[in-house]
Structure 1
Amino acid sequence: MIHLRPHHLLCLLTYAGKGYSADFVQNYDRIAARLSAGEEIEIVDGPDDICAPLLTEDAPHCRRDSVVERDALAARDVGALLGLEITLGVRLGIDAARLTRLRAGFARGESRLACLGCDWADLCTDVAQGGFAGVRVAAQL
């Protein structure tokens, strides 16, 4: 089971092997492989499996109020795209159909409010505009 906070449901759509540090990228690559293999996600509140390498910092951004707000916006928008409520404890898989639906909504800007102010927003926009080439999460058909 992969534990993710809601806004990471958006981040996984465009993750292409870049991150805050080498440890962060190695960890995210492992998570991307697990997601691609069909491992289920459980929605959590606060820092999750992707955040883990950043939690040793003195003041990790994972704990900021702005990130909590990002989670709320992402939960609402991802839930609307998938037709389900994204709340604490919800479990879901990211199959090819869901991944396609989420990426299409992301590319159309339907789930980007959570991305406002994110340091990675421009990179994610470029990845989406490039047809999601080079992304690391690819659900099995």
Structure 2
Amino acid sequence: MTVRLRAHHLLCMLTFVGEGYSPAFIANYRRIAERLTQGEQIEMIEGPDDLCRPLCHDPQTHCFRESVRGRDAAAAKAVSALIGRPVDAGMRFLPDAAMIARLRQAFAKGSIRAACRDCEWTSLCDAIAAKGYDGALVHGA
């Protein structure tokens, strides 16, 4: 199987420690974190993804907003520059340990965090990155 992610979730997965919008969201995210850690491939998509699924029953959820599409564009641009190839819909890759480490290093330095501007989770992500990602649930295969 393949985990389908929107671009800004490439950043969110770096600091996921089991907190989120609802119990259903958290349970789903934990399953996806385990799948990624076990070596499932990521497929980049536009719009709501596998992480958004528990929230998409509500058409007013933030997953459909233009501001979130803006986060995706900013994240795709930053990650593309970091890895040296476009992060576009349809791209597939394995989030191995080297890739996760590279993303986390850049995230901690702030160089790929333009998409995080005004995010409600910023302070939590800052604290997790400052502690060396201790407790983060996504690990490279």
Superposition TM-score, scaled by structure 1 size: 0.97
Query: Match of 1:48?
Result: 49
Q: Does 1:67 align with 2:75?
A: no
Query: Match of 1:114?
Result: 115
- The residue type paired with residue 66 of structure 2 is D
Query: Match of 1:8?
Result: 9
Measured after TM superposition, the shift of residue 56 of structure 1 is: 1.2
Query: Match of 1:85?
Result: 86
Deviates more, 1:11-20 or 1:78-87: 78-87
Measured after TM superposition, the shift of residue 83 of structure 1 is: 1.5
Query: Match of 1:125?
Result: 126
Identity across the alignment (%): 49
TM-align CA RMSD: 0.7
List gaps (5 residues or longer) in structure 2. none
List gaps (5 residues or longer) in structure 1. none
SS at match of 1:97: helix
Distance in 2, Cα, partners of 1:15 & 1:77: 19
Which deviations, in whole Å up to 9, do the C-alpha atoms of 1:91-116 show, x marking residues without a partner? 01100100000000000001111000
Measured after TM superposition, the shift of residue 57 of structure 1 is: 1.9
- The residue type paired with residue 56 of structure 1 is H
Measured after TM superposition, the shift of residue 15 of structure 1 is: 0.4
Measured after TM superposition, the shift of residue 133 of structure 1 is: 0.3
Aligned residue pairs total 140
Distance in 1, Cα, partners of 2:78 & 2:31: 26
Query: Match of 1:98?
Result: 99
Measured after TM superposition, the shift of residue 58 of structure 1 is: 4.1
Superposition TM-score, scaled by structure 2 size: 0.97
